[in-house]
Amino acid sequence: EVQLVESGGGLVQPGGSLRLSCAASGFTFSTYWMSWVRQAPGKGVEWVANIKEDGSEKYYVDSVKGRFTMSRDNAKNSLYLQMNSLRAEDTAVYYCARGGGKFEHWGQGVLVTVSS
Amino acid sequence: DIQMTQSPSSLSASVGDRVTITCRASQSISNYLNWYQQKPGKAPKLLIYAASSLQSGVPSRFSGSGSGTDFSLTISSLQPEDFATYYCQQNYNIPRTFGQGTKVET
């Protein structure tokens, strides 16, 4: 069974940093593109970033470029999102998802709240 | 960026109804269109990919159609568990973009 479990969320002040993790199991992690997708409270869904199987290609939505960095460790079946210079508008539930274009499996999500 | 526009934003329906949701892309995306269902407090779930292919395990009452810029999701006979919000999403190019969602309520 495919499982994706996010961790690392919480409350952070504007300008602060946070690192999200996603532990993957039940599939061969190293053979899939992976993505981060977020959803602000009461709002729609927004793709944030994706990363190729070997980590050699990464793409980001414009609003996070230069602030967020996505990475992966295939030996640990883990995905990461380093978030710096956080803003109030980054407040959202962050999901990791399997796939780079269609998102076949999703984690349960982790809440990131940016507030003073 | 490709803008995805869904209509309606919400609709009221009853069990057994045939429900259709439309999604329009701001430029042609061929058939690079996916549909998701989301229930409150849960992650979205993939229903349809490549405009008309049913994801494994999804009931056959769900179907998708369209190509180019105009797409639709149809639920042939609405069931109690289908009351949810539905999103379309394009994977034609980067950034991946979603529609604003359609809430199906009773």
Helix/strand/coil (H/E/C) assignment for every residue in chain B: CCCEEEECCEEECCCCCCEEEEEEECCCCCCCEEEEEECCCCCCEEEEECCCEECCCCCCCEEEEEECCEEEEEECCCCHHHCCEEEEEECCCCCCEECCCEEEEC
Q: Read off the pLDDT of residues B12-40 as tens digits, 9 standing for 90 and up.
A: 999 999 999 999 999 999 999 999 999 99
Q: Read off the pLDDT of residues A23-58 as tens digits, 9 standing for 90 and up.
A: 999 999 999 999 999 999 999 999 999 999 999 999
Q: How far apart are CA B57 and CA B49, in angstroms?
A: 13
A106 Cβ under 8 Å from any chain B Cβ: yes
B38 Cβ under 8 Å from any chain A Cβ: yes
> What is the pLDDT at residue B33?
98
Does A101 contact B98 at a Cβ distance shorter than 8 Å?
A: no
> What is the pLDDT at residue B56?
97
